[in-house]
């Protein structure tokens, strides 16, 4: 499936030098533009990216590590403030490990034929016939527990808020990303709350594969995740 309009993807990177599949980005659909955000990496991430940077691939280097949420937000703001991207209607963020392949981008936008008024498209890792979702049982069970907690805390009916593949129309980007997030990792929840009055649709990705080397270790981060949920609940009381 081919893209018929330009899309800009923010790709947050932290110590990704050994995992970046740079050729996959380079050979992807020419309508896809990338802003790689090096989030204060201590390895050679920027050096791996720099030789390939041109108009279509850009590098935003942060001097210190600020976390995924702020790295994505700064990349999105760079997109909004850069005249080079002024003609692009859709932008979003995509995990650097390409757990969701770039071939899914065109399928995301094809979904707008079914939902022409949609303002944000969220990848969702749904086990279903015709899909290939390779995910550990531990991650899957944690995902279901997390989704249940979100429903009781915020009445959010999303199946999967944490898939690292999301697209937004330009018209809602500033509302979603204009202010810093509370959480460094589960900022997706804050975006959903900020866009509660907008049309947000989950797209069930046809392919997703857990890639070794993730910076987020579930068993180590459960306490922090639920602490962040409590902070978000306090901040967004009106929701």
pLDDT at res. 215 = 57
pLDDT at res. 149 = 87
CATH number, domain at 67? 3.90.550.10
Residues 79-86, mean pLDDT to the nearest whole number: 96
Query: Total structural domains in the chain?
Result: 1
Residues 155-166, mean pLDDT to the nearest whole number: 93
pLDDT at res. 212 = 75
Stronger pLDDT, 146 or 195, i.e. the higher one? 195
pLDDT at res. 2 = 85
Domain membership flag for residue 87: yes
142 confidence band (pLDDT: 50, 70, 90): confident
Domain membership flag for residue 2: no
Domain membership flag for residue 1: no
Number of other residues whose CB lies within 10 A of the CB of residue 180:
12
Give residue-wise pLDDT tens across range 92-113: 999 999 999 999 999 999 999 9
Domain membership flag for residue 56: yes
Domain membership flag for residue 13: yes
Enter the tokens of residue 221.
Answer: 């981060």
Q: pLDDT at residue 213 above 70?
A: no
Domain membership flag for residue 95: yes
Q: Chain-wide mean pLDDT for the chain?
A: 92
Any idea which of 23-27, 81-85, 125-129 has the lowest mean pLDDT?
125-129
Residues 1-17, mean pLDDT to the nearest whole number: 95
pLDDT at res. 231 = 93
Domain membership flag for residue 210: yes
Its pTM surpasses 0.95? no
Domain membership flag for residue 74: yes
Domain that holds residue 65: 7-235
């Amino acid at each position: 499936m081919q893209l018929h309009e330009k899309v800009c993807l923010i790709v947050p990177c932290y110590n990704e030098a050994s995992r970046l599949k740079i050729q996959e980005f380079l050979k992807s659909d020419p309508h896809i533009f990338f802003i790689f955000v090096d989030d204060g990496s201590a390895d050679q991430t920027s050096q791996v990216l720099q030789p390939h940077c041109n108009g279509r691939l850009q590098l935003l280097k942060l001097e210190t590590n600020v976390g995924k949420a702020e790295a994505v937000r700064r990349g999105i703001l760079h997109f909004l403030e850069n005249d080079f991207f002024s003609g692009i209607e859709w932008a979003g963020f995509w995990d650097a490990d390409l757990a969701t392949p770039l071939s899914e981008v065109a399928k995301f936008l094809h979904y707008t034929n079914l939902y022409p008024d949609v303002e944000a498209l969220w990848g969702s890792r749904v086990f279903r016939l015709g899909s290939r979702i390779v995910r550990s049982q531990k991650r899957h069970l944690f995902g279901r527990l997390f989704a249940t907690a979100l429903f009781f805390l915020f009445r959010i009916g999303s199946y999967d808020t944490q898939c690292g593949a999301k697209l937004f129309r330009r018209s809602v980007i500033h509302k979603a990303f204009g202010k810093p997030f509370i959480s460094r990792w589960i900022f997706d929840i804050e975006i959903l709350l900020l866009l509660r009055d907008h049309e947000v649709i989950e797209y069930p990705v046809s392919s997703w594969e857990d890639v070794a080397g993730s910076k987020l270790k579930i068993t180590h981060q459960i306490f922090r995740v639920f602490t962040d949920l409590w902070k978000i609940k306090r901040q967004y009381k009106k929701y």
